[in-house]
Structure 1
Amino acid sequence: MAQREWENLNIDCLVEVFKWVGMESLLLSIPLVCKSWYKATLDPKCWQILVFPDIRCSEKLPRPMTMHFVHSYSLSWHHFPNASFAKFVVSRGQRSATSLVLPGICAYQALEYISDECPDLKFLGLSLDLLYHNGPVIANLISKWKNLQVLSIGHCYMLNEMFAQLRLHCKNFVGLIFCYSWIGHEEAFAIASMPKIKYLSFRKVHFHQNNLLMILQSCRELELLDLRDCSGFDYGNEIRKLASHIKTFRCERSSSSEEEDDYHYYAEEEQARLVYRKIM
């Protein structure tokens, strides 16, 4: 059998593979393999899913991936991604990005640039730190993403403000993902104010029975409800009845325990990718 020459693979096939490998590989590994692979990474379709590496303020030992990024591009730990790096990455997609996961630390200029250059965004992932430090900015920027369909958040800060923008500007919005959060009465009321929502995913979320009931009573068009690993409610007859019409309903490992886990408050990138593929 003849030896396979990887550099001669069809470029369209390479692009279909490379668009799923992630930002680190697209910037630091794949372009160094051969000229044809480098050429494939320049295709805008490889940059439609942008997951920026996260540098967390509380980390004493940053992840190897983020260290590689920072040292390779001589970036600042305190303002990453900065405007120049964001421009460099986002410009590769030629305004075609459809999925974006932002890190906890993000310079204001980078947020402005990203919002202007990603007009076709359908999926947006936001962490606790980003919402805490830039919540009002994010809420205002949502008006630029008129095609947004799914929002994944690691904290409920500025929820009402963001939802007001979603209702006003994002007519195709259908899905919410909450990871490592606490849903109180105010947060549940905000979610219930989105009655046309079709997809709700709660992972490692704590909320009381009445708050879950409020959401189920208002969001009657749900097609997917994920309550796996959640706590604070009893999966009894009342919830079963309200959720009986939902096509996909998951509640494994959920419990009525009032003890909250030691949540990390960060939306898991892989979870966001999986839900994005399932919904979109």
Structure 2
Amino acid sequence: MAEGRRWEAMEFDCLVNIFQRLGIEELTLGVPFVCKSWYRASLDPICWKVLNFQELDFMPWSNFSKRFMRQYSLHHFSFSGFMKLAINRSHGDVVELRFPLLFGASLKDLVHASDRCPILKIAVLPKLMLEDEEHIPELVGKWKDLEQLEMESKPSSFSEIATQISLNCQSFNGLRMFGSIKKEDVLAITKSLPKIKYLCLSRSYLCKKELLAIVDGCKELEKLIVNDCVGFEADEEVLKRASTITTFEHNGSKLYVDFGYDTDDCDLHYVHVI
């Protein structure tokens, strides 16, 4: 054992192969400080192709933020600065980018990612201020290789986003968002994204007529997830029309909210109730 190979002597490509499977926290606060060879391997762009910022807490008082400032001798820490560091290390090769859900991301961060991640395939966008949502279509349209888009809520510019995807993202096949899904939203999906294969609208207000319009208009759907929605029940007609979809999940969806209000009109107010 004393004559065995040491970890730091492992081939560079082997180290990179291992490190690319690690999360961002380990790549910044763990392996770089083991030895010089591990540090050099951790900087390889392959290790930074998938950036999942949702795994971390970017609050100023979080353990991660404090550890990062202490490890790198910083007096200030921000998500924007950390994101730029990670994207720079990717050398433009990021294929999956997941913004944090609750804190830190801004329109400027999305603009930076749109410019510096040209081959992005999977994007999970942050919730922006209402006045910033109008910029999302232009930014999304830059990702020519985009395949999947996830949004924490339905932006006011969704119709324009769908149009830009249709014009620029030829490999697009998956969408996830929630909100009040109205007639104009369904038209945007069926007109601009008719070949979509995966669609998740869970926790939305979704009327039966709009659900059926999606089922009828998106003939290539393979997976439709509408769990915990308000506005429809999976009755015999719904199940029959959706029978051609390989996976149709509708657990917890109901026609009305618990206090007994029943309607066929989508109303954003009731989305916040569930």
TM-score, structure 2 normalization: 0.78
Which residue is equivalent to 2:121?
Answer: 122
Identity value in percent: 35
Which residue is equivalent to 1:93?
Answer: 90
Distance in 1 separating the partners of 2:160 and 2:218: 19
Q: Does the alignment pair 1:166 with 2:194?
A: no
Does the 8 Å contact 2:180/2:271 carry over to 1?
Answer: no
Q: Which amino acid aligns with 1:42?
A: L
Distance in 1 separating the partners of 2:248 and 2:18: 31
Change beyond 3 A, Cα 1:10–1:237:
farther
Equivalence map 1:185-264=2 (5 Å) = 185-193=183-191, 194-259=193-258
Bigger relative contact order (CA 8 A; separation at least 6): 1
- Aligned-pair RMSD on alpha carbons? 3.2
Q: CA shift at 1:184, angstroms?
A: 3.2
> How many pairs align?
255
Worse overlay, 45-54 or 190-199:
45-54
Q: CA shift at 1:240, angstroms?
A: 1.4
Change beyond 3 A, Cα 1:68–1:176:
farther
Q: CA shift at 1:38, angstroms?
A: 1.8
Q: Secondary structure at the match of 2:141?
A: helix
Q: CA shift at 1:200, angstroms?
A: 0.9
Q: Secondary structure at the match of 2:86?
A: helix
Q: Does the alignment pair 1:34 with 2:32?
A: no
Which residue is equivalent to 2:47?
Answer: 46
Q: Which amino acid aligns with 2:112?
A: Y
Q: Which amino acid aligns with 2:154?
A: C
Q: CA shift at 1:66, angstroms?
A: 4.7
Instruction: Tell me which structure has the larger Cα radius of gyration.
Output: 2
Unmatched runs of 5 consecutive residues or more in structure 1: 265-280
Q: Which amino acid aligns with 1:249?
A: F
TM-score, structure 1 normalization: 0.76
Q: Which amino acid aligns with 1:19?
A: Q
Q: CA shift at 1:97, angstroms?
A: 0.7
Distance in 2 separating the partners of 1:63 and 1:192: 43
Distance in 1 separating the partners of 2:243 and 2:253: 17
